[in-house]
Structure 1
Amino acid sequence: MAGFLKRLFGGNKEPIDYDRAKDLAAHPDSKIRTDLARRDDIRPEILYFLAEDADPAVRRSVAANDAAPPQANLLLAADCDDSVRGDLAAKIARLAPGLSAHDQDRLRRLTFEALEIVARDQVTRIRQILSEALKDVANAPPDVIRRLAHDAELVVAGPILRFSPVLTDEDLLEIIGAEPIPGALAAISRRAGINTQVCDAIAATDDTEAIAVLLGNPLAQIREETLDRLVHRAADIEAWHRPFVERPKLPARVAQRLARFVAADLLRSLAERDDLGPEAASLVALAVEKRIAEAALSPEAKASTRLAADRSEAEARARALMDCGQLTETTIDTALASGDLAFVTAALILLAHLPAKSVVKAIDTQSAKGIIAISWKAGLSPGLALQLQTRLLRLPAARVIPPSGGDFPLTTREMEWQLEFFGAAE
């Protein structure tokens, strides 16, 4: 038997005519049928016949055979044997993207249908095989890629999210906004050349791991404003410190902020960077000097010094934005959402043209009416005045004064009185 098989299927195999192939396809020895199923020179209908063979080894050979007709692939996509579907997944993932528009429509339709069935397979390993095979294929079927990107298992979705050139920015933004599975955002954050819109969407989430990966991706196009918002959240998130410090082209104010809280080894790396530019290097050096001076202070003095520095920096940022006409309600709302309350306070002082002590007094006494009056004087909306009560003053719901019919809940005279009161309270 071994000699027969060697002559029939060995190295320099001889062509088999149709009738002989039909006889071998019905041979009682499954080894002969398996070897026949591996051949690429037999008629498609023979391979289709073998795709229904009772022996999984025969069906696996057909599944892995590039010459198998699309009808056989479609049949095997629903095979009861995992290994058959796994071999098929690897094959059609390799072949399907090569089908051009000039191929017969029916051929393409059947092959893509088989691909979609495999992409819905209940066995994770089968979908994983497909994902790994298609992750970097530029002309893979978009519907299949999107299905894999939304998979509930990271081993399936991860390779597609990280590498697939088929996914558009719109696809990525949809995934980011749809409560993705753990690890999905980190996979997206590792993509080469992520644009600013996608970076902004990831930075706006609470996924600290994904943001750490994003910061560590030198090809991620993170806007200076986004880095600025992130650095104000970074003090208590140690996982962000190193990727922040090692990030290329750090803006001056971001570098200065980092110098105030990163560990000594990172502080040294930050100070030794040669790409900061004169302004950033000077600010970092100043921050290093302050850190050295603070080390000798008592805990109470350190806290007071740090608070004063926070206020000073916030005032500088707010004034810079005001000078270029960018200190807007949107800017204040964003700062509120990120917890940058020192900046919000500084912005209210500048926009309302009030003494700093007047605004701080209203905030410290948690005066709902006072903050409403300040918002009105600053030219802000009743809606933002409501947000200031809940987020800046941290008032419980029972003490909040909501807008009245979309307008401020106090009369003009009442708000003027509040401003006079807090002005007199200096």
Structure 2
Amino acid sequence: MTDSPDAIHAARHGDAAARTAVARAPNASPELLTFLAADPAAQVRQAVAAHASTPPAVARLLAADADAEVRRVLAGRIAALAPELDSKTRSRMARLSAGTLALLVEDAAVEVRAAIAAAVREMPDAPRELILRLARDTAMPVAEPVIRLSPLLTEADLLALIAAPPVPATRRAVARRPALSETVSDAIAHTTDTPAVAALLANPSAAIREATLDQIVAGAGNRPSWQAALVRRAQLPAPAARALGEIVTDHLLSVLAARTDLPQGLAAALRTRVTAHLAVEDDAQDAEAELLAAAQAGDRDLLLSRLAEAAGVSHARVEAALALRSGRAIAGLCHSAGWSAPLAAEVQAVLGGLSPAEVVHPTVEGSWALGEAELLWQAELLEGLPA
């Protein structure tokens, strides 16, 4: 491959844009790419890193480039060659590329490792050692794509990740993997890891035994995220639905009662309960008015006591939540208690001592500014606080 005089001149004397164009040219020679690999402009080196004709020895040098974007681009290209980089190969070029990939998979920059994961996540013939290394990464942008999508991960691999997760979020990634077996679902459920079990329940393709669902329902009383996922889960057995009807909050009871797959008698009983709850809304509004008045009067003791009672947590956990000085955390706790967004704003100011700028205010219509998923997540986070 011979470079044109114009390309050589642009590589040596052109501006950064011209040099980048040379490095991107499909017919650029390995020699010219080697020269441009030492270019002072990162955008030029990025183009060299992306080029299929860049020699493996040069790629090895770029794996240590100071610019993370250069390394990220290189990681994506080299990882795409992973099936060809068998450690037993006799090709010196392949061995060089395999060594480069080994360096990049240990790169300190998450985006570099994530580029490798994105390239190999669905490869059926990627090196198994590489897949296992990525699956155990502590950064979820790296581990989750592989955990969820790699066909090389076995049931035993998934069970190992559940038993000894590198970080708590690892279990959540496993729980979101399509077509989980009953064995893996059982393992997740037995951990009682609140976010992981919620993710499992929200995974429509996860196979969950009826006995396991019953176990989850039994532990869902103080876990709003489990309740929310359970009432929406397809093919919910009637015993589980009946048990849920006894513990879910009012808004979830309405969701449960609206299901079309429940036995007729159970559906009718749930609708009756929904009607009864609606009938006492006036009392609830009176109670909220009392709490708003307490907030405006600065009655911390009453608010603290009522919040702990309504949210089903101890006074110590409420105090621990308040100590976080997080408007979102307090809003999540108030939401768990069934309180309104305007009351939650007052609680943040009075109990949390937050300034107006720190408070999560309601919308103009008086509803929650945070989404349901965010509020449930905030409540979940508080479960790890002192009880």
Q: Same fold judged by TM-score > 0.5?
A: yes
Quote how far apart the aligned CAs of 1:204 are: 1.2
Structure 2 counterparts to residues 13-412 of structure 1, below 5 A: 16-17=2-3, 24=9, 27-29=12-14, 31=16, 33-97=19-83, 105-276=91-262, 278=263, 281-282=264-265
Cα separation, 2, equivalents of 1:217 and 1:234: 17
Judged with a 3 Å threshold, the aligned counterparts in structure 2 of structure 1 residues 282 and 30 are, in CA distance, closer, same or farther, namely same
Judged with a 3 Å threshold, the aligned counterparts in structure 2 of structure 1 residues 73 and 49 are, in CA distance, closer, same or farther, namely same
Quote how far apart the aligned CAs of 1:49 are: 4.2
* Per-residue deviation, residues 183-224 of structure 1 (Å, max 9, x unmatched): 222222222111112111111113211211211111111111
Quote how far apart the aligned CAs of 1:230 are: 0.8
Cα separation, 1, equivalents of 2:21 and 2:255: 63
Judged with a 3 Å threshold, the aligned counterparts in structure 2 of structure 1 residues 100 and 149 are, in CA distance, closer, same or farther, namely closer
Q: Aligned residue for 2:331?
A: none
Cα separation, 2, equivalents of 1:63 and 1:114: 12
Quote how far apart the aligned CAs of 1:54 are: 4.8
Answer yes or no: is the 8 Å Cα contact 1:260–1:291 preserved in 2. no
Cα separation, 1, equivalents of 2:62 and 2:15: 18
* Per-residue deviation, residues 27-74 of structure 1 (Å, max 9, x unmatched): 354645544332332443443343344553432221011221222222
Answer yes or no: is the 8 Å Cα contact 2:86–2:127 preserved in 1. no
Answer yes or no: is the 8 Å Cα contact 1:192–1:219 preserved in 2. yes
Cα separation, 2, equivalents of 1:223 and 1:119: 38
Judged with a 3 Å threshold, the aligned counterparts in structure 2 of structure 1 residues 42 and 238 are, in CA distance, closer, same or farther, namely closer
Answer yes or no: is the 8 Å Cα contact 2:250–2:274 preserved in 1. no
Cα separation, 2, equivalents of 1:158 and 1:261: 33
Quote how far apart the aligned CAs of 1:151 are: 1.5
Answer yes or no: is the 8 Å Cα contact 2:165–2:171 preserved in 1. no
Answer yes or no: is the 8 Å Cα contact 2:3–2:29 preserved in 1. no
Letter in 1 for 2:231: V
Corresponding residue SS for 1:27: helix
Answer yes or no: is the 8 Å Cα contact 2:159–2:184 preserved in 1. yes
What is the TM-score of this pair, normalised by structure 1? 0.56
User: Identical aligned pairs, as a percentage?
Assistant: 41
Corresponding residue SS for 2:246: coil
Judged with a 3 Å threshold, the aligned counterparts in structure 2 of structure 1 residues 110 and 249 are, in CA distance, closer, same or farther, namely same
Q: Kindly name which structure, 1 or 2, has the bigger radius of gyration based on alpha carbons.
A: 1
Cα separation, 1, equivalents of 2:230 and 2:171: 18
Cα separation, 1, equivalents of 2:274 and 2:221: 14
Cα separation, 2, equivalents of 1:68 and 1:263: 61
Corresponding residue SS for 1:194: coil
Q: Aligned residue for 1:381?
A: none
Corresponding residue SS for 1:273: coil
Cα separation, 2, equivalents of 1:122 and 1:184: 19
Corresponding residue SS for 1:148: helix
Cα separation, 1, equivalents of 2:34 and 2:54: 7
Letter in 2 for 1:195: S
Answer yes or no: is the 8 Å Cα contact 1:260–1:288 preserved in 2. no
Cα separation, 1, equivalents of 2:249 and 2:205: 25
The one of the two structures with greater contact order (alpha-carbon pairs below 8 A, sep at least 6) is 2
* Per-residue deviation, residues 61-108 of structure 1 (Å, max 9, x unmatched): 21011221222222211222222212212322334457799x974443
| Range with greater deviation from structure 2 (127-136 or 69-78) | 127-136
Quote how far apart the aligned CAs of 1:240 are: 1.2
| Range with greater deviation from structure 2 (239-248 or 180-189) | 180-189
Letter in 1 for 2:95: R
Cα separation, 2, equivalents of 1:53 and 1:288: 71
Cα separation, 2, equivalents of 1:91 and 1:40: 15
Letter in 1 for 2:241: A
Quote how far apart the aligned CAs of 1:242 are: 2.2
Gaps of 5+ in 1: 1-14, 297-426
Letter in 2 for 1:27: R
Letter in 2 for 1:211: V
Judged with a 3 Å threshold, the aligned counterparts in structure 2 of structure 1 residues 237 and 24 are, in CA distance, closer, same or farther, namely same
Judged with a 3 Å threshold, the aligned counterparts in structure 2 of structure 1 residues 84 and 46 are, in CA distance, closer, same or farther, namely same
Answer yes or no: is the 8 Å Cα contact 1:149–1:157 preserved in 2. yes
Answer yes or no: is the 8 Å Cα contact 2:181–2:207 preserved in 1. yes
Answer yes or no: is the 8 Å Cα contact 1:24–1:36 preserved in 2. no
Letter in 2 for 1:193: A
Q: Aligned residue for 2:344?
A: none
Cα separation, 1, equivalents of 2:220 and 2:177: 22
Corresponding residue SS for 1:239: helix
Runs of 4+ in 1 over 6 A off after TM superposition: 98-101, 287-296
Answer yes or no: is the 8 Å Cα contact 1:260–1:287 preserved in 2. no
Answer yes or no: is the 8 Å Cα contact 2:85–2:95 preserved in 1. no
